[in-house]
Amino acid sequence: MDTSLVREWERQLRLGRNASPHTVRAYTGDLLHLADYLDRTGSGELADVDLRVLRRWLAGMHAAGAERATMQRRAAAARVFFAWAHETGRLASDPAAGLRSPRVDRTLPPTLAVDQARRVLESLASTAAAVEDADARAAALRDVAIVEVLYASGVRVSELCGLDVASLDTDRGTLRVRGKGDKERSAPLGEPAVRALDGWLAVRHLLAGPNAGDAVFVGDRGGRIDPRVVRRIVHRALAQVPDAPDLGPHGLRHAMATHLLEGGADLRSVQEILGHASVATTQIYTHVTTERLRTAYTQAHPRA
């Protein structure tokens, strides 16, 4: 099958819509999966697709045991692709206009308790204070700042890695991040995170190499830190507290949002801090807090 139309759309996603590299890869892969399905089943070209073909495509994935979240994303990719192809005159009709996504069972994300978060951060700071070698201490202070910033601001790991020194306003306790869709927003920082950043920036020169540029966080090789390194740092930090769940950077984002709502923050404010395009995405955290209330009630009420 000629997949040139998919490649055109890939360029549109990347250049015209400013989609993230992850979204471009995922959506392009989804459309290539559809193209492969059309080849295997003899269903014709993309221009021949109708709603029945798309439904059979999803049904085949379901029968093969595909996760609902995968099927939902692929249905969304098909809707976006065919809408674009129709709107730009590349296809005469939009066969995906009536395509519904399978419902995804929303599970409560595991998260840290407030006390666990406090102990993780205290353990990191204590470890850093005990290190005597200058370079090793710089790396330890960097790790403290990374975890503090992730928990304080709720930024995504990609946003943290993309931070430049000019993005920080430690006097006001905020940082500027460029998130999904190339949208810029401000995120708050508490005093502990500001202190941790100040401590790290004072020794950053010990680790920063010629390729570091203005990156706030640098890796052990001197360049801008890689998300995989940040994930290792977070996993290692949480492992120091025996009863803490094994979470990555996104788990700290979950914890921050959950603790804000438990502390009385309103949903819209949390949505803005996290950079969610829709408040519906933020509402998962209300389920987390409700579940905790239900657990506390069941344990404490004599007639629960």
Verify whether residue 285 is a known catalytic residue: yes
What one-letter code names the amino acid at 243?
D
Verify whether residue 259 is a known catalytic residue: no
Catalytic choice (204, 253, 254, 259) = 253
Catalytic choice (14, 195, 250, 292) = 250
Give dist(CA 105, CA 57) in Å, integer: 21
Verify whether residue 176 is a known catalytic residue: no
Tokens of 193: 């995170």
Catalytic choice (27, 37, 151, 285) = 285
Catalytic choice (74, 156, 204, 259) = 156
User: Which residue spans within the chain are E strands per DSSP?
Assistant: 168-169, 174-178, 184-188
User: Which residue is associated with the tokens 């995922």?
Assistant: 26
List C-alpha distances in Å: 130 to 18, 127, 151, 163, 293: 45, 5, 23, 28, 39
What angle in degrees, to the nearest 10, is found between the helix axes of 114-130 and 249-262?
Answer: 130
Verify whether residue 156 is a known catalytic residue: yes
Give dist(CA 239, CA 233) in Å, integer: 10
Verify whether residue 276 is a known catalytic residue: yes
Catalytic choice (25, 180, 235, 287) = 180
User: Which residue is associated with the tokens 């706030």?
Assistant: 216
Supply the residues annotated as catalytic.
156, 180, 250, 253, 276, 285
